[in-house]
Amino acid sequence: MARKTRRAHSKRPRLSATQLAQPGTSAPVTRQKAESTAPAAPVLSDLREEYHYVLRDLKTIGLIAVAMVVVMVVVLLLI
């Protein structure tokens, strides 16, 4: 039977060039530059631009949940 070996796993996440790109710049950041800089605090306006679809999805989920509760109440009243 073959002996089990352990692979050395990298501590760095594997990111594509698109994921390494910084907002507002045209060229993606190289891995060395991204690792050497300290992580900056995210700015609220940047988060709103990047995750604009999340608020829309949350509103849609809330609307569906309210509609389901209304349907359940109507069904319970008819029984």
Structure tokens given for 41:
């605090």
The span from the CA of 79 to the CA of 77, in Å, is: 6
In the prediction, which pLDDT does 36 show? 53
Answer whether 57's CB lies under 8 Å from 34's CB: no
| Domain layout of the chain by residue ranges | 41-79
Q: What percent of the chain is predicted at pLDDT more than 70?
A: 67
Q: Is pLDDT larger for residue 4 or for residue 75?
A: 75
The span from the CA of 6 to the CA of 67, in Å, is: 52
Q: What is the DSSP letter of 3?
A: P
The span from the CA of 8 to the CA of 15, in Å, is: 18
pLDDT per position as a tens digit, 36-50: 555 666 677 777 788
pTM above 0.75, yes or no: no
Q: Is pLDDT larger for residue 47 or for residue 9?
A: 47
